[in-house]
Structure 1
Amino acid sequence: MESLKMETEMLYPEITVEVGRVTFGEENRKRMTNSYLKRTENSRIIQATCALLNSGGGVIKAEIEDKTYSYRCHGLGHDLETSFQKLLPSGSQKYLDYVQQGHNLMIFVKSWNPDVFSLRICSLRSNLYQRAVTSTINLSAHSALELLREKQSRTQRGRSKMQELHSQKALDRYMQEEEDMRMSASEFVKKDKLVYKEKLNFTESTHVEFKRFTTKKIIPRTKEMLPHYVSAFANTHGGYLIIGVDDKSKEVFGCQGEKVNPDLLKKEIENCIEKLPTFHFCCEKPKVNFTTKILNVYQKDVLYGHVCVVHVEPFCCVVFTEAPDSWIIRDNSVTRLSAEQWVTMMLDIQPDLRQLCKDFESQLSLSNSPPQSRPVYSKKGLEHKKDLQQLLFPVTPGCLKYTPESLQKELFLQNEGLEELINRQIDPFSQGILILSTSWAVDLNLEEKQGVICDALLIAQNKPPILYTVLREQDTEGQSYCTHVAFTLKQKLVNVGGYTGNLCITTKVLHLSLESSAESSAGSGSVIDYPSSYHLADTQQMEALLQSLVIVLLGFRSLLSDQLGCEVLNLLTAKQYKIFSKNLRKNKELFIHGLPGSGKTIMAIKIMEKIRNTFHCKTNEILYICENKPLKNFIRDKDICQAVTRKSFMKYDFTHIQHIIIDEAQNFRTEDGNWYRKAKTITQRDTDCPRILWIFLDYFQTSHVEDIGLPALSAQYPREELTRVVRNADQIARYLQRVLQRVRKNPPRNIPHEPLKMCLEAKWARDVQGTLSIKKDLTLNAVVTHVADTCKLLFERGYSPKDVAVLVSTARDVEKYHQELLKAMRKKGIVCLTNASDMGGDHIVLDSVRRFSGLERNIVFGIHPSAMKAAILYNILACLASRANQQLHILWQRDV
Structure 2
Amino acid sequence: MEKHSSSLVVELSYPDLVINVGKVTLGEENRRKLQKPRKDQEKERVMRAACALLNSGGGVIQMEMANKDEHPIEPSLRSSNKVDVVPFLLNLGAITLPLKMVPSRLAFAACALHCTGFNNADPAFEFFQRDNLEYGEILPFPESPSIEFKQFSTKHFQTYLENIIPVYVSAFANTEEGGYLFIGVEDKSRKVLGCAKENVNPYSLRARIEKAILKLPCVHFCQSACQINFTTKILNVFAKGKLYGFACVIRVKPFCCAVFSEEPSSWLVENQQIHKLTIDKWVDRMMDIDQDLSRLCKDFESQLSLTSGPPLSRPVFSKKGLEHKKDLQQLLFPVPSEHLQCTPEPLWKELSSQHEGLEKLIKEEMPPLSRGILIFSRSWAVDLDLQEKQGVICDALLIAQGSPPILYTVLREKDAAGQHYSMHTAFTLKQKLVNMGGYTRKLCVLAKVLSLSAEDTAESSEGPGCLLKYSESYSLADTPQMEALLQSLVIVLLGFRSFLSDKVGCEVLNLLTAQQYKIFSKNLHKNRELFIHGLPGSGKTIIAMKIMEKISKVFGCPTKEILYICENQPLRNFLSSKNVCQAVTRKTFMNSSNFESIQHIIIDEAQNFRTEDGDWYEKAKKITHRKKDCPGILWIFMDYFQTSHLDCSGLPPLSAQFPKEELTKVVRNADLIANYLMKAMKEVREKPPPNIPHESLKMLHEAEWTHSVRGTLQVKKDLTLRQMMTYVADTCKSLFEMGYSPNDVAVLVSTTKEVDRYKHELLKAMRKKRVVQLCDACDMSGNHMVLDSVRRFSGLERSIVFGIHPKSAESAILDNILVCLASRAKQQLYILWHGDY
- Which of 490, 496, 502 aligns to 1:556? It is 496
Match of 1:415 in 2: 355
Report the counterpart of residue 386 of structure 1 in structure 2.
Answer: 326
Alignment-derived partner of residue 205 in structure 1: 143
Q: Is 1:537–2:516 an aligned residue pair?
A: no
**Inter-CA distance 641–5: structure 2 relative to 1 (3 Å threshold):** farther
Q: Which residue of 1 aligns with 2:731?
A: 790
C-alpha contact (below 8 Å) 2:806/2:814 kept by paired residues:
no
**Aligned match of 1:109:** 86
My pick for the range that moved more, 327-336 or 364-373, is 327-336
Alpha-carbon displacement from aligned partner over 1:628-684 (angstroms, at most 9, x marks no partner): 111001000001111111111112120011111111111111111111111101100
Match of 1:840 in 2: 781
CA gap 1:650/1:493 in 2 versus in 1, 3 angstroms? same
Call closer, same or farther: CA 1:113–1:496 in 2, change over 3 Å.
Answer: farther
Aligned partner letter, 1:38 = K
Q: Does 1:18 align with 2:12?
A: no
Q: CA deviation at 1:479?
A: 1.8
1:498 maps to what in 2? 438
Q: What displacement does 1:288 show?
A: 0.7
Q: CA deviation at 1:350?
A: 4.8
Are 1:884 and 2:821 an aligned pair?
no
Amino acid at match of 2:831: I
Structure 2 Cα separation of the partners of residues 807 and 113 of structure 1: 52
Q: Identical aligned pairs, as a percentage?
A: 59
User: What secondary structure does 1:372 align onto?
Assistant: coil
Matches of 2:605 and 2:557 in 1, distance apart?
Answer: 24
Between 661-670 and 227-236, report the one with greater CA deviation. 227-236
For 2:616 and 2:686, locate their aligned partners in 1 and report how far apart those are by CA, in whole Å: 29
Residue matched to 2:98: none
SS in 2 for 1:812: helix
1:404 maps to which residue? 344
Q: Does 1:752 align with 2:693?
A: yes
> Which residue does the alignment assign to 1:129?
114
CA 1:241–1:812 in 2, change beyond 3 Å: closer, same or farther? same
The aligned counterpart of 2:67 is 66
Q: Matched residue of 2:689: which SS? A: coil
Distance 1:319 1:571 in 2: 38
> Structure 1's 7 and 457: CA in aligned 2 closer, same or farther, altered over 3 A?
farther
Q: CA deviation at 1:342?
A: 4.7
Measured after TM superposition, the shift of residue 693 of structure 1 is 0.8
Q: What whole-Å deviation, never above 9, does each CA across 1:708-748 have from its counterpart, x for those lacking one?
A: 11111121111101111011111111111111111111111
- Would you say the 8 A contact 1:24–1:75 is kept in 2? no
- 1:41-440 residue pairs with structure 2 within 5 A? 41-70=42-71, 74-75=73-74, 98-101=76-79, 104-112=81-89, 119-123=104-108, 126-129=111-114, 173-174=120-121, 179=123, 181-188=124-131, 191=132, 197=135, 199=137, 205-206=143-144, 208-215=147-154, 217-236=156-175, 237-244=177-184, 250-254=191-195, 256=197, 263-280=203-220, 282-294=222-234, 307-346=247-286, 348-426=288-366, 428-440=368-380
- Alignment deviations for residues 566-600 of structure 1 (CA, whole Å, 9 cap, x no partner): 22211111111111111111111111110110000
Shift of 1:806: 0.6
CA 1:70–1:4: 2 relative to 1, 3 Å: farther
In structure 2, distance between residues paired with 1:812 and 1:330: 52
1:724-773 deviations in Å (ceiling 9; x for gaps): 10111111111111111111111111121111101111101012211111
Matched, 1:868 2:795: no
Q: Determine if contact 2:361/2:458 at 8 Å carries over to the other structure.
A: no
Paired with 1:751 and 1:521, the residues of 2 have a C-alpha distance of: 56
Higher helix share: 1
**Aligned-partner Cα distance in 2 for 1:480–1:893:** 67
* Alpha-carbon distance, 1:210 to partner: 4.5
Read off the aligned partner of 2:61 and give its amino acid letter.
Answer: I
2:94 equivalent in structure 1: none
Is the alpha carbon distance of 1:836 and 1:411 closer, same or farther for their aligned partners in structure 2, counting shifts above 3 Å? same
Q: Distance in 1 between matches of 2:755 and 2:8?
A: 58
Larger deviation: 859-868 or 381-390?
A: 859-868
Aligned match of 2:669: 728
Q: How far apart are residue 310 of structure 1 and its match?
A: 3.1
Q: Using the alignment, how far apart are the partners of 1:187 and 1:294 within structure 2?
A: 10
Distance 1:299 1:734, change over 3 A: closer
Partner SS, residue 888 of structure 1: strand
Question: Secondary structure of 1:368's match?
Answer: coil
Please, which of 604, 613, 625 is the counterpart of residue 553 of structure 2? 613
8 Å CA contact 2:451, 2:458 repeated in 1: no
> Which letter does structure 2 place at the counterpart of 1:577?
Y
Q: Deviations over 1:512-535 (max 9, x none)?
A: 21x468545546452211110110
AA at the equivalent of 1:679: A
Deviates most, 675-684 or 265-274: 265-274
Question: Please, what is the CA RMSD of the aligned residues?
Answer: 2.9
Cα deviation digits, residues 425-474 of structure 1 (max 9, x gap): 12635311111111111101111122222111111111001001112222
Closer, same or farther: CA 746–663 of 1 in aligned 2, 3 Å: same
Query: 2:264, 2:282 within 8 Å by CA — same for their partners in 1?
Result: yes
3-state SS of 2:809 partner: coil
Matches within 5 A, 1:365-764: 365-426=305-366, 428-513=368-453, 515=454, 518-520=457-459, 522=461, 524-526=463-465, 527-653=467-593, 654-764=595-705
Q: 1:254 to 1:646 in 2, by over 3 A?
A: same
Change (3 A) 1:619 1:124: same
Work out whether residues 404 and 444 of structure 2, in 8 Å CA contact, stay in contact via their aligned partners in 1. yes
Is the Cα contact below 8 Å between 1:669 and 1:706 reproduced in 2?
A: yes
Q: Secondary structure at the match of 2:14?
A: coil
SS of residue in 2 equivalent to 1:187: coil
CA distance in 2, matches of 1:564, 1:201: 52
Partner of 1:34: 35
Instruction: Report the secondary structure of 1:358's partner residue.
Output: coil
CA contact 2:644–2:813 (8 Å) conserved in 1: yes
- Work out the CA distance in 1 between the residues paired with 2:367 and 2:113: 56
SS at match of 1:477: helix
Q: Distance in 2 between matches of 1:269 and 1:817?
A: 65
What's the offset of the Cα at 1:7? Answer: 3.9
Structure 2 CA distance for partners of 1:335 and 1:263, relative to 1, 3 Å: farther
Residue of structure 2 in register with 1:769 after alignment:
710
Letter in structure 2 aligned against 1:754: E
Structure 1 CA distance for aligned equivalents of residues 695 and 263 of structure 2: 65
Task: Identify the range of structure 1 (857-866 vs 809-818) with the bigger mean alpha-carbon deviation.
Answer: 857-866
Rounded to whole Å, the distance in 1 between the matches of 2:433 and 2:330 is 17
Range 548-557 or range 824-833, more displaced: 824-833
CA distance in 2, matches of 1:409, 1:239: 72
- 1:203 CA displacement: 6.4
Maintained 8 Å contact 2:264/2:279: yes
Relative distance call for 1:743 and 1:239 in structure 2 (3 A) is closer
> What do the CA deviations read for 1:188-223 (whole angstroms, capped 9, x no partner)?
3xx5xx78x574655663455444444454333322
- CA gap 1:586/1:255 in 2 versus in 1, 3 angstroms: farther
Residue in structure 2 matched with residue 818 of structure 1 by the alignment:
759
Q: State the 1:333 CA deviation.
A: 4.2
Q: Does the CA contact (< 8 Å) of 1:255 and 1:307 recur in 2?
A: no
